[in-house]
Structure formats: C-alpha cells, structure tokens
Structure 1
C-alpha cells in the first residue's frame, strides 16, 4: 500500500445541479470578466416512515476570465451544469453595521465547467433562491486574491 504525504491541504469541490438564474457578467476595472449565478443541488432520501424526501441546497458560483464570458453567453436558468472549483469564504460589514459572511464556489483558470447533456433550461419553480440580497452584497472582490 502506498501512502501519499500532503505538504498542504487541498480546497476542491465538485457540484452538479441546475442554474437558479442566468449567469450575470460584470468586469473589473482592469477588464477581467466575472460571472455569477446560483446553482441548485438536490439530494433524495427516505425518512423514518419510508417516505421519499428531497432537500435542495443553493450555491453561489463565481467564474473568472474567459470562462466567465462563456458562462454569460451560454448558462441560462434551469440548465444542468457541472463545476469543479474551490470554496471561498467572504466576510464584510453590511449596511446595518453587522458582520456578514457567505461561501462561494470559485471557478478560475484551475477550475472546470460544463453544460451537461440534456442541459437545456427547464421550468423552475424556485424564484429568487440562493445568493445574497443586493443591499448586503459583499464588496467587489479584490482581483489580487484570485489567480489570473
């Protein structure tokens, strides 16, 4: 048996789910594209009475560079999408003075993204799920924190 020794940890997440909204693209002052969208993932399980239950989790996805431009062009609400990225924790002070935080999945040059077969939009019943309300959004990311 071979043992692998890690010199450092690894931050990697794989998600597959449906887009909760169309990807929205904006640009940093230096011209780097940043796309954002929400992704719904679902698990099914049987409760103690044997009834099938479903739970939906919402994830904030942030995509950088050329991948962001492609996402803005092609990723629409309801599409089945696949992402490999990393988790980023954000903290900021809200307009009410309280500290806020969220987690987002970052897709940069090291990440992957795909539209899955049969990935066309479908009629989704969850409006406005996931993400953060506009008045309490984290500040625009410092691009020095992300690889280009």
Structure 2
C-alpha cells in the first residue's frame, strides 16, 4: 500500500505549537493549496488542508514560519473519527507531515525583493528523524543564475567557439 502526500501552499495562520504531557512538540497548521483549474467565473479556488507535524520539525516550523509563508510538505493522509457532544460520529481527515521545506526567503515574505529575482537566502529544510536544525541551502549566493547564451568567464565553455547545429526538416520526428 502507498499513502504519500506532497503539498505546496501557504500557511493560513501562524502554526500552533503545543506539547503533549510527555513533552513532545506538535504543530497544527492549515495550508491553502491552489487548484490547477479555474471555476466558472474564471477564479482560481483553493483547498484548505489541515496538517500536523511532530517533534523537532514542529518547533522549527513554529520558529521559522508565519502566516502566508510558502512551504512544501510531504507526509501521509490519516483519517480518524470521534463522537461529539451530540452523540454524532465526526470524521476528520488530515495530513501527518513527515517533513517540510520553506520555499521562499524571509525578505520576499516581508515585502522585500520580489520573488525569483536571485534572492535565495534563508530556505529551510527540516525533516523528522533529521534533527540537524535549520539548514540554508543557498546562503551567501548573491547572484541570480545566468540563462543567457554567452558562457560566463571561468565556465567550461568560456572561450570556445560554438557552431550552430545543422538539422534538416527531414531529421525531425514531427
């Protein structure tokens, strides 16, 4: 059997961090995840998915994120039920997250630089069982990637002459 979930969305509120009587950290939060299509009015709708994160990653999420933060979550779906005060059976479906990753910098969250403009600082990668704390994958990278045609100085292709590829229409499969 496979029960695997991958979500990318924004936090609808600050994560709520609590501790069990055994002193285990648990964070509950809701992710707003946009749907891939628009409704009849041409508006994009979102699903609001309840998530739970345990142990050190729960504390990291509470410390490093806030309402509106774009995060990625991997985990599994869990369904539970209970009887409410009126005697009715209530079913709850939620994602039990194994790990999460912050997908934007703090500057872009706070209205600093626009996204995708070469600001790669402060991305977090937190996982259950990997309690190494906050890891920044792109620290000290100040320059946006160069997607231009000219090779950069110091690269393998710098100084080499590039010849255009000669392909006839007969070689193309379409």
Higher RCO (CA < 8 A, seq sep 6+)? 1
**TM-score, length of structure 1 as denominator length:** 0.67
| Aligned residues of 1:79 and 1:121 also touching (Cα < 8 A) | no
1:96 maps to 86
Counterparts of 1:12 and 1:72, CA distance in 2: 23
Q: 5+ unaligned residues in a row in structure 2: which ranges? A: 112-127, 130-174
1:60 maps to 50
1:15 maps to 7
- Which structure has the larger Rg? 2
**Following superposition of structure 1 onto structure 2, how do residues 20-59 of structure 1 map, counting pairs within 5 Å?**
20-46=12-38, 52-59=42-49
Two-structure CA RMSD over aligned residues (Å): 2.2
| Aligned residues of 1:38 and 1:59 also touching (Cα < 8 A) | yes
Q: How many residues align?
A: 111
Counterparts of 2:39 and 2:28, CA distance in 1: 34
Distance 1:54 1:66, change over 3 A: same
1:103-132 Cα distance to aligned partner (Å, 9 max, x none): 11102xxx220110246268xxxxxxxxxx
> What is the CA-CA distance between 1:44 and the residue it aligns to?
4.3
Residue 109 of structure 2: SS of its match in structure 1?
Answer: coil
> What is the CA-CA distance between 1:55 and the residue it aligns to?
1.4
1:114 maps to 101
Is the counterpart of residue 81 in structure 1 residue 71 in structure 2? yes
1:1-29 Cα distance to aligned partner (Å, 9 max, x none): xxxxxxxx111000000101100111111
Structure 1 segments, 4+ long, off by >6 Å, are: none
**TM-score, length of structure 2 as denominator length:** 0.58
> What is the CA-CA distance between 1:66 and the residue it aligns to?
0.3
Counterparts of 1:46 and 1:32, CA distance in 2: 41
